[in-house]
Amino acid sequence: MSKLDGLKPEKVFHFFEEITRIPHGSYNLEMIRAYLIRFAEERGIKYIADDHGNVVYKKPATAGYEDQPGIVLQGHMDMVAVCEDGYGIDMKTMPLDVFAENGLVGARHTSLGGDNGIAVAMALAILDSDDISHPDLEIIITANEETGMEGASGFDISCIKGRRLLNLDSEDEGIFTVGCAGGARVVCYLPADNSVPRGDDICTIEVRISGLLGGHSGQMIHLGRGNASKLMGRILSSASPASPSAVINSITGGVADNAIATDCVANISLPAQDLNGFTEAILAEADKVKAEYSVKDPGFTLTVSGDAARAQDIAISLKYASAFINALPYGVIAMSSEAEGLVETSLNLGILKIDDNRIHAEFAVRSSINSARDALVKRLIDLTEGFGGTNKVTGVYPGWKYLSDSPLRDKMIRVFREMYGKDPKIEAIHAGLECGWFASKADDFDIVSLGPDMQDIHSVNERLSISSTESVYSYLLALLATKD
């Protein structure tokens, strides 16, 4: 039974709901890719499925539009799969439980995947229609955007003729994005020292941080929201003097490098005689954190519980590990000197865990200046090596430079003004977009990004505006139908 029946545009929400029924978190794309291929085959649409997981559709111009410049529509098929703690939803196998309420679409206890499922849904709605006027259309649906833009980085641009590209991966109606930051993924590894807490009577406790707002680490890093993994490092480091021989048996925080961690759980073994003082130190520091974040992240919650399971094979000195996590940089490093209010350089500790007998701390590094990006990567490397660890740098991607001469942007502004009686906002953003990869592959690409209003993407509070989706889709169709 459809849960989004009656929402307009009906065809867009029909395909969007179909997408939400198919698990499609990053690196779990077999089913959604098969769906996209089947969609083309059932309709006789020409398509390409490449070795990087991407799917490309081609639809000829409608009558009277054969001489117009072709348009490339682009979005990505994967989502950041986040589940609310305690609900046990397996997002690798289970559909999303979507709902429409108060003008918004969401999913119960999980992220929605509006980023970027709504782009795919709009593209499919256009492909499925025979009453929409348009020039030659090429539609690129990329794979694994959320984990380093791997589909876009490996894409062979020679299969694309058009040079006007509309990226549908923005989340604010009325804003046309015309530039973005570059970035990299950095994983810092700290080896386990297999410490053993000293004493005859050892207990194990669980420390849990939860209730934080989280969000997209590019678009929301400037809001100063708490990162659960970083706060865990701070709190445990402050408490470590109360139990010098305490060890961390396990620690888990965050779900993706580009999502601000909302939860972190650590299991700690320590002498029973230290328990009261250690717990008091943790709660005292947690009170300070709660006061500091009372406005920016008021849901911060810390709990300490006893009788936690103890990992027998892996243990890391609490003092050593917490000092490392606490020392790792996080958040806004520099603001732009050219664009007021734009973050220039930042990083996010997105995933923290223990695996392969070592701490694994995974960062998304971003900057609109490549040299600043590289300097921040080097800072992480130096810090980790100073603690005796190692690093792995992957997913380095280019920024997207603003074009002073853009016929596509000029046309989009003209059509927007005619439809709404006002000008759109033109901006560059701190978040990374696949536009950077496409711009780097062809010097003559003319690119603009747009999309409907969304809230709190990459979190369980993610919401998609119904009215904005209708408005943006109407605008997109008007743009396709407007001749140069």
* CA-based nearest residue to 302, from 320, 315, 283: 283
DSSP string, 457-472: TTSTT-EEEHHHHHHH
Q: Which of 17, 145, 362, 453 is catalytic?
A: 145
Q: Is 41 a catalytic residue?
A: no
Please count the other Cβ atoms lying within 10 Å of the Cβ belonging to residue 327: 13
Domain covering 184-397 in this structure, CATH number: 3.30.70.360
What pLDDT does 308 receive? 64
CA atoms in the 13 A half-sphere facing the CB of 448:
23
Q: Which residues contact 392 (CB under 8 A, 6 or more apart)?
A: 186, 187, 189
Beta strands in 341-430 (DSSP E): 343-355, 358-367, 390-397, 425-429
Q: What is the pLDDT of residues 153-191, one digit of tens each?
A: 999 999 999 999 999 999 999 999 998 899 999 999 999
Domain covering 10-181+399-481 in this structure, CATH number: 3.40.630.10
> Is the Cβ–Cβ distance between 300 and 211 less than 8 Å?
yes
What are the boundaries of each domain within the chain?
A: 10-181+399-481, 184-397
Amino acid letter, 6: G
Amino acid letter, 228: A
DSSP bridge pairs for 251 = 266
> Is the Cβ–Cβ distance between 268 and 248 less than 8 Å?
yes
How far is it, in rounded angstroms, from Cα 90 to Cα 83? 8
Confidence of residue 147 (pLDDT cuts 50, 70, 90): confident
How far is it, in rounded angstroms, from Cα 355 to Cα 364? 19
CA atoms in the 13 A half-sphere facing the CB of 149:
24
Q: How does the average pLDDT of the chain come out, rounded?
A: 94
Dihedral (Cα; 382, 386, 388, 393), 10-degree rounding: -10
Confidence of residue 313 (pLDDT cuts 50, 70, 90): low
Beta strands in 272-424 (DSSP E): 301-306, 316-317, 331-335, 343-355, 358-367, 390-397
Model pTM score? 0.71
Q: Is 362 a catalytic residue?
A: no
Q: What is the pLDDT of residues 205-259, one digit of tens each?
A: 999 999 999 998 988 999 999 999 999 999 999 999 999 999 999 999 999 998 9
What pLDDT does 431 receive? 81
> Is the Cβ–Cβ distance between 108 and 462 less than 8 Å?
no
> Is the Cβ–Cβ distance between 432 and 182 less than 8 Å?
yes
> Is the Cβ–Cβ distance between 430 and 219 less than 8 Å?
yes
Q: What is the pLDDT of residues 427-479, one digit of tens each?
A: 988 888 999 999 989 989 999 999 999 999 999 999 999 999 999 999 999 99
How far is it, in rounded angstroms, from Cα 384 to Cα 381? 5
What pLDDT does 42 receive? 98
Q: Which of 17, 78, 285, 446 is catalytic?
A: 78
Residue 310 has pLDDT above 70, yes or no: no
